[in-house]
Amino acid sequence: MARRWTNTLKQADVTPEPLWLNRRQIMAGAGAMGAALLAGEASAEALEPNTWDEITNYNNYYEFGVGKDDPARNAGGLRTSPWSIEVNGLVERPGTYTIDDLIGGLDLEERIYRFRCVEAWSMVVPWNGVELNDVLDRVGVKSSARYVAFETVVQPEAMIGVRRKVMPFPYVEGLRLDEARHPLTMLATGIYGKPLANQSGAPIRLVVPWKYGFKSIKSIVRISLVADEPPASWPMLNPREYGFYSNVNPKVDHPRWTQATERKIGGGLFSSRVPTQMFNGYEAEVASLYDGMDLRIFY
């Protein structure tokens, strides 16, 4: 598959945010089509990313509280170093990996992705990270594995939402193996060339741009290769409202609100909603993963 949506910048090449925004503006001035081609994006649409401040002050990270500004306020005490990730299950090289063991030497890329929460708000985020596919190759997936399960760290002393038991923890998520191996699926360690802020899921998180945001689990400490569909936090809490697949789909509404449109963060208080795109705009890349599946049943 052609990797037209990727930039192959190394971490050291990533431009600081102010210069980077300036570059974007210059490119936007050159015409949307040219800008998109220069940026290496999949679609002809030029994605104007949200600012660092927008991305790190409007969050969902229930371990730090349920309000959008709670994570920015409360995540300062998260200990992100040292960090280790346990890799287990149906894997050739199980063990406890440092982040460097897991991703060191892999292609570190900058990718500008749409990000759509199931609550019908959206942003555009310039992630830095690696393809999960490459990490799975490094640890060696056994042929009996069909799903990948992920788990978030629990540090009760640093996590007020954990102490208050706002939902069951650890937060868990999962992907089918072909979704996990899709070239769009990333493990991210940065935004705008800077390490992830704690509230953004430091030091390493999942990014699955064609699925609702809750699939993109933060601050990962365990990756398990398994045979059966693993539990996921929101579908466990409310299976009628949240499914395992959770592909962005404007035609399948949430029981309590429409998914046909979304509110862009940073668009201003009175900005109108914009139409939501099938698979969040990544239909050409991912639709074939779901051939023959009724997406109303597998929501």
Ligand X SMILES: Nc1nc2c(c(=O)[nH]1)N[C@H]1C(S)=C(S)[C@@H](COP(=O)(O)O)O[C@H]1N2
* Cβ closest to Mo ion, residue 216 vs residue 224: 216
Burial 228-247 (b: 16+ CB within 10 A, else e): eebebbbbeeeeeebbbbbb
CB of 40 to ligand X, least distance (A): 23
Q: Considering only 79-87, 209-217, 252-260, 268-276, which stretch makes contact with ligand X by CB under 6 A?
A: 209-217
Q: Which of residues 63-122 bind ligand X (CB under 6 A)?
A: 63, 117
Can residue 152 be called a binding residue for ligand X (CB under 6 A)?
yes
Site stretch for ligand X (CB under 6 A), options 84-92, 130-138, 181-189, 215-223: 215-223
Q: Phi and psi at residue 278, in whole multiples of 5°?
A: -55, 135
Residue in the block written with tokens 């280790």: 84
Choose the stretch contacting Mo ion; rule: CB under 5 A; options: 106-114, 169-177, 198-206, 212-220: 212-220
Residue 182 or 218 having the CB closest to ligand X = 218
- Alpha-carbon gap, residue 208 to 184, rounded angstroms: 7
Among 6, 50, 59, 74, indicate the residue that binds ligand X (CB under 6 A). Answer: 59
Q: Choose the contact partner of 192 out of ligand X, Mo ion, none; CB within 5 to 8 A by kind.
A: none
Residue nearest to Mo ion (CB): 117
CB of 216 to Mo ion, least distance (A): 8
Which residue in the set 5, 35, 36, 61 belongs to the binding site for ligand X (CB under 6 A)?
A: 61
Residue 63's binding partner among Mo ion, ligand X, none (Cβ under 5 to 8 angstroms by kind) is ligand X
Q: Which residues in the 67-126 window bind Mo ion by CB under 5 A?
A: 117-118
Count CB neighbours of 274 within 10 A: 12
- The answer for residues whose C-beta is within 8 angstroms of residue 293's C-beta and 6 or more apart is none
Kind of pairing between the strands at 147-152 and 220-226 = antiparallel
Closer of 14 and 207 to ligand X (Cβ): 207
CB of 119 to Mo ion, least distance (A): 6
- CA dist 251 → 113, 177, 245, 247 (Å): 21, 25, 15, 11
- Compute φ and ψ for 97, nearest 5 degrees: -105, 140
Per CB under 5 A, does 299 bind Mo ion?
A: no
Among residues 209, 213, 230, 235, which is the contact residue for Mo ion, using CB under 5 A?
A: 213
Residue with tokens 């991912």: 286
Query: Does 262 participate in binding ligand X (rule CB under 6 A)?
Result: no
Q: Which is nearer to ligand X, 28 or 124 (CB)?
A: 124
Which one of 3-11, 56-64, 129-137, 237-245 is the stretch in contact with ligand X (CB under 6 A)? Answer: 56-64
- Asked if 210 touches ligand X (CB under 6 A), the answer is no
Q: Assign 3-class secondary structure to 29-93.
A: HCCHHHHHHHHCCCCCCCCCCCCHHHHHHCCCCHHHCCCCCHHHHHHHHCCCCCCEEEEEECECC
Both tokens of residue 198?
A: 């704690």
Helix, strand or coil for residue 112? Answer: strand
What are the residues binding ligand X (CB under 6 A)?
Answer: 59-63, 117, 152, 171, 200-201, 213-214, 216-218
